[in-house]
Amino acid sequence: MTYIIAEPCIDIKDLSCVDVCPVDCIHVFDRILIIDPEECIDCGACEPECPVEAIFPEESLPPDWATYTQIDAQWYTDRGGARELIQVLKPA
């Protein structure tokens, strides 16, 4: 399991979650913050710090935002592909 940052974070990028992450697995990417699924230790420290309630345990991610799991994974393999997915999901 890992944590996922979903749509409410787009264009917000409050860094409260970054400040409490003990392993620095949350990264700024274009219009959203992204959690590296390989680095996340599932501590949950980030979730209560999010002012827009955009962070979810992967198994609790609302179905409407399931694509954000793919965005997180794709960012670490093909950043351009993740950028395209974010642009399609919620226009600037």
Give CA–CA dist 65/46, Å, rounded.
Answer: 18
pLDDT value at residue 26: 94
Q: Please give the tally of structural domains in the chain.
A: 1
pLDDT in tens, 25-42: 999 888 889 998 889 999
Q: In whole angstroms, what is the distance from residue 55 CA to residue 72 CA?
A: 12
Output the tens digit of pLDDT for each of the chain's 92 residues.
689 999 999 999 799 999 999 999 999 888 889 998 889 999 999 999 999 999 999 999 999 999 888 888 877 777 656 667 766 666 55
pTM: 0.85
pLDDT of residue 81: 63
d(CA 54, CA 17): 10
| Residue closest to 9 by CA, chosen among 62, 56, 57, 52 | 52
Instruction: Identify whether the C-beta of residue 72 lies closer than 8 Å to the C-beta of residue 66.
Output: no
Which runs of E-coded beta strand occur in the chain?
3-5, 26-29, 32-35, 55-57
What CATH number is attached to the domain comprising 80? 3.30.70.20
Full domain range(s) for residue 8: 3-89
